Structure 1
Amino acid sequence: MDSTGSRDRDFIDKVRGEWAQSYPEVDTAPIEIIGRITRISSQALHQLERALAPSGVSRAEFEVLCALARSDRPLRASEVTAVTMVSGAATTKHADRLVKLGLVERQRFERDGRVVLLQVTDAGRELVDRELPQRVERDSRLLDGLDQDERAELARLLRRITRNSDDADRS
């Protein structure tokens, strides 16, 4: 099951061992990778939630702010939804709260007054300017011990898995 020594075993190795006991007929090899991706993601998002708590902004709201901050123009709610991968209703809810907090503003689209655009405010940009570098630093610490070549190879492999996931999502 595990090609590493027992000293290098992690939580996922433990889970696979438990599944092997309960369901020996099921090949749980994909858990070696997907389980670790899921665990790392969950832990990284939990760290982000904790770090954002003092600002009063949730992780999902921060993702909306980031989508707006990195855009070179105001975005429609549907565009924010597309890049944050949350539902349209959730985007509206997050935008409403961010507007109340003064971090996002709504604007009417000049060519069609029925279309509402979202734009990050100066206060919202200050929050992103403060929190984003810290997030990147936390993410960087997760990669400690990997040299640049290993990081590049890992990114290449994960990109392939991401494409598979995106393709499955479209099917």
Structure 2
Amino acid sequence: MTTTEGPGPGGGPDRSPHDTVATVMRQWRAVHPGIDTGPMEIIGRINRCAALLQQAEDAPLRRAGLHRTEFDLLGALRRTGDELTPGELARETFSSGAAVTKRLRRLQESGLVERRADTRDRRVSRVTLTPRGRSLVDGLLPEQLAYESVVLSGLVGEDRDRLTAVLGELLGQLEGRLGGPRP
């Protein structure tokens, strides 16, 4: 966490964050003294972290010629062990149907997935990993996890466990209120 260790208010150590969101919050409090910026501080930091993580190139995926969203589709097929419809893949990856269709076309052209018509309903397609796709996912997963560990290396031990728990609790609440229940 980005904090400073020095005398803070009341003589104790200063553990207030010193990041871009903290600067924005100080500016808001100067304009509107006494305003509770707590919700904005949390959501602002989550959004800023997400933006930075999305900007950071996923080096192992990039070397394999994949985007994160494509790897998510391949990963969904691998971890479920099933063949899935494009609609099921959209739900598994929190993507739109149109985005999944576009990504599947590229992955199929790359020889990583196969699509076949459903035997009962020819309008529905079934998607599976090819042997090449399965091998790629199985090879990339350890590399990608190692890369993500380096990205998160500033968080260790209890801080990492606490953040995992708090984010899990927040996500569960938001999915329950805003995103509907997960299947």
Q: Is the TM value for this pair above 0.5?
A: yes
Count of residue correspondences: 169
Give the corresponding residue for 1:106. Answer: 115
Matches for 1:42-61 after TM superposition, within 5 Å: 42-61=51-70
Give the corresponding residue for 1:146. Answer: 156
44-53 or 133-142, larger mean C-alpha shift = 44-53
- When residues 46 and 130 of structure 1 are mapped into structure 2, their CA distance, relative to the original with a 3 A threshold, is farther
1:82 correspondence with 2:91: yes
Hey, which bits of structure 1, 4+ residues long, moved more than 4 A?
A: 22-26, 48-51
- The structure where strand makes up a greater share of residues is 1
Give the corresponding residue for 1:17. Answer: 26
Amino acid at match of 1:72: G
- Normalised TM-score (structure 1): 0.81
How far apart in 2 are the matches of 1:20 and 1:155? 30
Answer whether contact 1:76 1:116 (CA < 8 A) is retained. Answer: yes
Amino acid at match of 1:74: E
Q: Per the alignment, in what secondary structure is the counterpart of residue 55 of structure 2? A: helix
Answer whether contact 2:60 2:147 (CA < 8 A) is retained. Answer: no
Answer whether contact 2:116 2:125 (CA < 8 A) is retained. Answer: yes
How far apart in 2 are the matches of 1:21 and 1:130? 52
How far apart in 1 are the matches of 2:31 and 2:142? 44
CA RMSD, 1 decimal? 2.7
| Displacement of 1:85 | 0.7
Give the corresponding residue for 2:173. Answer: 164
75-84 or 50-59, larger mean C-alpha shift = 50-59
- When residues 135 and 12 of structure 1 are mapped into structure 2, their CA distance, relative to the original with a 3 A threshold, is farther
- When residues 86 and 26 of structure 1 are mapped into structure 2, their CA distance, relative to the original with a 3 A threshold, is farther
Structure 1 unmatched ranges of 5 or more: none
- When residues 133 and 39 of structure 1 are mapped into structure 2, their CA distance, relative to the original with a 3 A threshold, is farther
Q: Per the alignment, in what secondary structure is the counterpart of residue 164 of structure 2? A: helix
1:36 correspondence with 2:49: no
| Displacement of 1:51 | 4.3
- The structure where helix makes up a greater share of residues is 1
| Displacement of 1:70 | 1.1
Give the corresponding residue for 1:133. Answer: 142
What is the percentage of aligned positions where both structures have the same residue? Answer: 33
Give the corresponding residue for 2:103. Answer: 94
